[in-house]
Amino acid sequence: MKIALASDHGGFELKEIVREYLTEKGYEIMDLGTYNTDSVDYPDYGLKAGQEVASGNVDRGIVICGTGIGISISANKVKGIRCALCHDVYSAEMTRAHNDSNVLAMGGRVVGRDLALRIVKAWVESDFEGGRHARRIDKITEYENKC
């Protein structure tokens, strides 16, 4: 699985931790930055990650800012993106199973290293259940296509 990672300065440290973890696990990573803690604008990174996922260049994306909120809002503006902000393992599993989320967002100033990696593990390893959940996602896609 190929995964795009992107963060602003508030998520930089956690992005590096996530990159190291996923690389060790054998995932192919596209690191879209940021590459240090200099102040940047989270929409630039959320949108970039969303575009890479939506265009099929990568299978999924993980985006991180200070709270995870700004960068998740940004990623969700890209057509076809279902970005879920998760700060617990249960939500990470459920958003794959029920929402088929293709981007995960976290806040680097909200979760610590160990919890963040448990969330990432749950999210990358969980599958979409389909069925009635697919019907609900189709309604979102239908709305998106009308806009």
Q: How far is the CB of 93 from ligand RB5 (least distance, A)?
A: 24
CA distance 28 to 19: 10
Q: Is 83 a catalytic residue?
A: no
Residue with tokens 């009635």: 132
CA distance 73 to 134: 22
Say whether residue 40 binds ligand RB5 (CB under 6 A).
no
Say whether residue 29 binds ligand RB5 (CB under 6 A).
no
Q: Is 98 a catalytic residue?
A: yes
Query: For ligand RB5, which is the closer residue by CB, 70 or 101?
Result: 70
Query: For ligand RB5, which is the closer residue by CB, 45 or 123?
Result: 45
Phi, psi of 60 (to 5 degrees): -150, 170
Token digits of residue 121: 């593990």
106 residue type, one letter = M
Residues with active-site annotation: 65, 98
Interface positions with ligand RB5 (CB under 6 A) = 8, 10, 42, 65-67, 69-70
